Structure 1
Amino acid sequence: MKKTLLVSLLAVGFFNSCHNNEEIINDTPKQLEVHNKVVNVTNHDGKPFNTGNTNSQNGKFIAGPGGGVMMQGFYWDVPDGGIWWNTVKDKVTDWSNAGMSAIWLPPASKAQNGPYSMGYDPTDYYDFGNYNQNGTVETRFGSKTELEGLITKAHAENMQVYADIVLNHNSGGQSQANPFTGTNTWTDFSGVASGKFQRSYNEFYKNSYGNNDEGAFGGFPDLCHASPYVQNWLWEREDSVGKYYKNVMKFDGWRFDYVKGFGPWVVNTWNSNIGGFSVGELWDSNVNTLEWWANNANSSVFDFAAYYKMDEAFDNGNLNVLNDDMMWKRNPYKAVTFVANHDTDIINNKMLAYAYILTHEGYPTIFYRDYEEWLNKERLNNLIWIHNNKATGNTSILYTDNDEYIARRNGYNGNPGLVVYINNSSYWQERWIPTNWASQQIKDFTGHSSWYPTTQGDKWVKIQCPPKSYSAWSLNQ
């Protein structure tokens, strides 16, 4: 069931009791966000906005009441040449200071395309850039030593590191005669340089266990998880892939690639044997499918339902669809929300989308290029601070129409929560809304509004939002 509640707003008969309030309905805004670019980064009154204290006292991430934020630490075709691990390492302290709690890295082991591979065609799960095979010693991203240095640095900054795990398919094997197909197949992995998890046609469909499982990918040899030998090497042995990643390489969690290709029991069994955070890439907008997979895999799942709803809402002028069901509404503890990733990037009004996921329930993800290259980093840091410090409690949707969306986080364990106002119209907007706070002064922690209204005794208050932008209101404390 949805965890939200639609409340109709009745503004008639209420009087404004705001403290230091100014009516600016027809005034010209001094700050306007157009096509993800901030034209003038000031308050309505021209003063610099207040981003909040985005740095922790000791320069390391400290979990606030709203939790943490994940950084996807790569994009498709990052620079090759073995420099990426050090590139990310140099940014870890800044990401920690901004309030990010974890980094998701690309597949780290040696793949068929050697120095040019993004890792999604794995050959040797135990070669992190320390064996000479597939035309290179280092991976596209760097050496094993550099990867270990990055993970060590992230842990020193109190950040977790998640490995991208490709379990559906392999690539880079040698040709061998296959009695199950009557042809030669590229399924001979007996010569992997690490000497670990050697494979043959017996470990790939079709074989003695059947013709196929849930799905193959791109014509690559399809790994057979029904094989006890495969299970032994993936998660059972003390030097299994999962235990090696966790105990030797010190990864803290897992992003499972293309989980449509095998049953959710695979991730469930991995998690039972290995532990750590996990999230699956189940590319499906059907929230029932997402919830089914997450429950059966005992794992979080990327909230593709929310992803496509945000595109419809913010790019197609229909914020009413944010009333629809999404994974974060079904189970926020198993929903990883995102605005873009290395595979898909369809949302144009990204700052509104980030304002949405960073003020709502779920585990929000920041895409590397959005943060480091394309969007306003100071604005994103402000939203991260709001998420970590104010976005607590369950969610009540207070108002929606085509252009406006207002929702309340109801607070938790002494934290007051917040009210977020997203305005996709071309004009400043104002609304009376019900809060959880009686006779208390609030402010917009984005700095987009200079109002400091005081809630009425019945907890109602009038708030505002700039055009093509957002505001986030909470107690002025």
Structure 2
Amino acid sequence: MKKQNFKAYLISALLVGLYSCNSNDDLVTDSAAAASQFKVINVTHHDGQPFSTGKSTNSTTGRYVANPGGGVMMQAFYWDVPAGGTWWNTVNTKITAWSNAGIGSIWLPPVSKAQNGPFSMGYDPTDYFDFGNYNQNGTIETRFGSRTELESLITKVHAENMQVYADMVLNHNSGGQLENNPFTGTQTYTNFTAVASGKFPRTSADFYKNAYGNNDEGAFGGFPDLAHVVPNVQDWLWKRADGVGKYYKNTMKFDGWRFDYVKGFAPWVVNDWNANVGGFSVGELWDSNVNILNDWANNANSSVFDFACYYKMNDAFDGNNLNILNDDMMWKRNPYKAVTFVSNHDTDEIWKKELAYAYILTHEGYPTIFYRDYEEWLNKTKMDNLIWIHNNKGTGTTSILYTDTDEYIARRNGYNGNPGLVVYINNSSTWQERWIQTNWANAQIKDFTGNSTWIPTTQGDKWVKIQCPPNGYSIWSINM
């Protein structure tokens, strides 16, 4: 989708107070007294397996390897990345470092030629088969580069044992020629029979209004609205062996899809695509209603971006009320179809991003990292630490142990021998401490972020006191 609500700003570094504990004597006390201040707010009941994109590898080369915590995705672009055909090469230089950091997949912007040629971000597609190798719309290369550079990038991603997802804009087209439209009685820009690739020719019969009806779920930006009920559209998008989906998958070697503006067409479109083409898929359904997100994901047989989580995090962290994190979200309802995120090319509202990333990288779902957050705006060392924790400790179901306006504590319950973790988020200006119940009896634990120097031992009844820095987080697990 086109940019709607993007705020260009530099994120101020969160100040982390320095604190040391001279004695751990106060870590041992009667657990009954501790229980009086402990309360389980909510427990989610899901299959205990970690999220997985289905990829596995036994690589011992230091490249990305499938891990207990599941995948982390990098959104490998932002709105208005530099024009001039350099972006594919820029991303190519990042892949090895991302792989070493534990990133398992990248999401690219729309890769085909669009109406605005060398200046387009790709969301106004003209020729799905022009990857920067045909001279049309005023350019040979796309804004991002040439087909050769794109193929080199995809090859590099796969060499690092990572996956690459294409941004698919299926709702609308742009850049067609004028034709007499018998369905409107006017001339419309719906003639795409002369696209340079010669593939997916389409006319006014393939767009609403047409013989099948006046419209479907939604139009966007005044662009010609593809009618997916038309056999020609279905054939070229996902049924034909040389059609868009199968060409992208089998020839260009994409592993999955991010579907743009899925509010504009029915979920059966994505369901049919997935059944015919395969690969990972996630839909951009811009809605904070969990019921709507979950219904779409089930009907489309696809993952969906967790906008419910996004808006709840914004309200909780920036609105200074962490109790809101008890509310329903897609990752709680259906974690295997929830893709969580803190910001993206369309929307960037959360200011306390470090807390938000600590949240999504310790909880269920498939977390996405935004390019500018990782490469430009936030502390990359802290981000790499959170990715490591997610990959190595973020397993099992989730129990929310404590919340108030300033504090949030949750436990990942572990899976298949992995101990899981406890995450403590503190939105106040002072250090905080809480007694909590872990899943570990008589076990030494530590904060894997290094924000706390405590190394306490849990009691026989699994209780322990932990601490959290101001405006920060700590993440605890067995010291091993």
| TM-score (ref. length: structure 2) | 0.89
1:115 match = 118
Pick the aligned partner of 1:433 from 433, 436, 441. Answer: 436
Give yes or no for the alignment of 1:273 onto 2:276: yes
Q: CA deviation at 1:39?
A: 4.7
1:13 match = none
Contact 2:107/2:258 (CA < 8 Å) preserved in 1? yes
Structure 1 segment 48-197 matched on structure 2, within 5 A: 58-197=61-200
| Alpha-carbon distance in structure 2 between the residues aligned to 1:473 and 1:370 | 24
What's the Cα RMSD here? 1.4
User: 3-state SS of the aligned residue for 2:166?
Assistant: strand
User: 3-state SS of the aligned residue for 1:443?
Assistant: strand
| Structure 2 residues not aligned, in runs of 5+ | 1-9, 23-58
**Quick one: which amino acid aligns to residue 117 of structure 2?**
G
Cα 1:277/1:302, change in 2 over 3 Å: same
Contact 1:112/1:121 (CA < 8 Å) preserved in 2? yes
User: 3-state SS of the aligned residue for 1:433?
Assistant: strand
1:200 match = 203
**Quick one: which amino acid aligns to residue 98 of structure 1?**
A
Pick the aligned partner of 1:381 from 380, 384, 393. Answer: 384
| Alpha-carbon distance in structure 2 between the residues aligned to 1:233 and 1:266 | 13
User: 3-state SS of the aligned residue for 1:422?
Assistant: strand
Cα 1:246/1:317, change in 2 over 3 Å: same
Give yes or no for the alignment of 1:37 onto 2:40: no
Q: CA deviation at 1:395?
A: 0.1
| Alpha-carbon distance in structure 1 between the residues aligned to 2:21 and 2:367 | 31
**Quick one: which amino acid aligns to residue 291 of structure 2?**
N
Q: CA deviation at 1:446?
A: 0.3
Pick the aligned partner of 2:400 from 397, 415, 437. Answer: 397
Cα 1:187/1:83, change in 2 over 3 Å: same
Structure 1 segment 351-370 matched on structure 2, within 5 A: 351-370=354-373
**Quick one: which amino acid aligns to residue 436 of structure 1?**
N
| Alpha-carbon distance in structure 2 between the residues aligned to 1:302 and 1:43 | 38
1:6 match = none
1:31 match = none
| Alpha-carbon distance in structure 1 between the residues aligned to 2:209 and 2:16 | 60
Contact 2:433/2:466 (CA < 8 Å) preserved in 1? yes
| Alpha-carbon distance in structure 1 between the residues aligned to 2:157 and 2:14 | 31
Contact 2:73/2:369 (CA < 8 Å) preserved in 1? yes
Q: CA deviation at 1:57?
A: 5.7
| Alpha-carbon distance in structure 2 between the residues aligned to 1:271 and 1:260 | 17
| Percent identity for Structure 1 against Structure 2 | 78
| Structure 1 residues not aligned, in runs of 5+ | 1-33, 47-55
| Alpha-carbon distance in structure 1 between the residues aligned to 2:293 and 2:343 | 18
Structure 1 segment 288-437 matched on structure 2, within 5 A: 288-437=291-440
| Alpha-carbon distance in structure 2 between the residues aligned to 1:469 and 1:136 | 48
| Alpha-carbon distance in structure 1 between the residues aligned to 2:21 and 2:88 | 43
| Alpha-carbon distance in structure 1 between the residues aligned to 2:449 and 2:179 | 61
Contact 2:15/2:471 (CA < 8 Å) preserved in 1? no
**Quick one: which amino acid aligns to residue 266 of structure 2?**
G
| Alpha-carbon distance in structure 2 between the residues aligned to 1:423 and 1:41 | 12
**Quick one: which amino acid aligns to residue 71 of structure 2?**
G
**Quick one: which amino acid aligns to residue 250 of structure 2?**
N
Contact 1:36/1:350 (CA < 8 Å) preserved in 2? no
| Alpha-carbon distance in structure 1 between the residues aligned to 2:329 and 2:468 | 25
Q: CA deviation at 1:68?
A: 1.5
Deviations 1:425-444 (A, max 9, x none): 00000000000000000000
Pick the aligned partner of 2:213 from 185, 210, 215. Answer: 210
Deviations 1:186-229 (A, max 9, x none): 00101100000011000000000000000000100000000011
Contact 1:335/1:363 (CA < 8 Å) preserved in 2? yes
Deviations 1:132-167 (A, max 9, x none): 000000000000000000000000001100000000
Contact 1:102/1:162 (CA < 8 Å) preserved in 2? yes
| Alpha-carbon distance in structure 1 between the residues aligned to 2:427 and 2:146 | 46
1:460 match = 463
**Quick one: which amino acid aligns to residue 306 of structure 2?**
D
**Quick one: which amino acid aligns to residue 125 of structure 2?**
P
Q: CA deviation at 1:58?
A: 2.2
| Alpha-carbon distance in structure 1 between the residues aligned to 2:434 and 2:11 | 25
Deviations 1:106-134 (A, max 9, x none): 00000000000000000000000000000
| Alpha-carbon distance in structure 2 between the residues aligned to 1:100 and 1:290 | 25
Cα 1:269/1:359, change in 2 over 3 Å: same
Q: CA deviation at 1:42?
A: 7.4
Q: CA deviation at 1:59?
A: 2.6
| Alpha-carbon distance in structure 1 between the residues aligned to 2:16 and 2:213 | 62
| Alpha-carbon distance in structure 2 between the residues aligned to 1:38 and 1:188 | 53
| Alpha-carbon distance in structure 2 between the residues aligned to 1:41 and 1:71 | 30
Deviations 1:209-253 (A, max 9, x none): 000000000100000000011100011111010000000000000
Deviations 1:405-462 (A, max 9, x none): 0000000000000000000000000000000000000000000000000000000000
- 4+ residue segments displaced more than 2 Å: 38-46, 56-59
Q: CA deviation at 1:63?
A: 1.4
Contact 2:117/2:138 (CA < 8 Å) preserved in 1? yes
| Alpha-carbon distance in structure 2 between the residues aligned to 1:350 and 1:250 | 33
User: 3-state SS of the aligned residue for 2:400?
Assistant: strand
2:250 match = 247
User: 3-state SS of the aligned residue for 1:37?
Assistant: coil
